[in-house]
Amino acid sequence: MQPDNVQPATVPWNQDRQLEVLVFDLGGQSFALEAVLVREILDMMPETRVPGAPPLVGHVVNFRGRIIPLANLHLAFGMDLPTTTPDSRIVVIEIELNGEAMMVGLRTDKVHEVATFDAATSEGAPVVGLRWRRDYVRTLVRHGDDIVVLPDLDAIFQTIARRDLAAAAIN
């Protein structure tokens, strides 16, 4: 259940009201993240399961000698878990969580392109007809014949952090 008073995170449009993004697929839907967050795009690699970790970040990978969490956003958006294909990739991003810079790998079904979106082609997530939690969607953007979702990674990862804190308080 999501809150009724969902306030999507703002999109960091530049002074020209544009945003450079990396477009990728998850479960047959196009998603995009700010290109400035992306550190590298990797072929799939061996993963290590982390016992007791939330399923969304239930694995880690070795990225250039650093152990980083591997997030599966399919789970955040209630999608079926896909099988790995030759097009599957890990997009390594650097984001700030709880005031700390952190590297995270994102499992994707396919990476498409770097594109520039215009704010005039974006709209907020509708109140009805959306199959995902609205607080996980910052905006929807028309891109060619497609609708691209800009997810709110802060909201997604903060949900996990709150669950971890609540679990720690119980123990």
pLDDT at position 2 is 43
Q: Compute the chain's Rg from CA coordinates.
A: 16
Strand order in the sheet with 89-97: 38-43, 89-97, 100-108, 66-71, 59-63, 48-49
pLDDT at position 118 is 95
What is residue 79's three-state secondary structure? coil
Strand partners, 59: 49, 70
Q: Which of 16-20, 96-100, 160-164 tops mean pLDDT? A: 16-20
The pair of three-digit structure tokens given for residue 110, joined into one six-digit string: 């396919």
Q: Is the pLDDT of residue 141 over 80?
A: yes
pLDDT at position 1 is 42
pLDDT digits (tens, 9 = 90+) for 24-50: 999 999 999 999 999 999 999 999 999
170 confidence band (pLDDT: 50, 70, 90) = very low
Specify the long-range contacts of residues 163-167, CB closer than 8 Å, at least 24 apart.
163/54, 164/54
The pair of three-digit structure tokens given for residue 55, joined into one six-digit string: 């399923």
Q: What is the mean pLDDT of the chain?
A: 87
Q: Is the pLDDT of residue 77 over 70?
A: yes
Q: Is the pLDDT of residue 132 over 90?
A: no
Under a CB-based contact definition with an 8 Å cutoff, are residues 44 and 84 in contact?
A: yes
The predicted model scores a pTM of 0.86
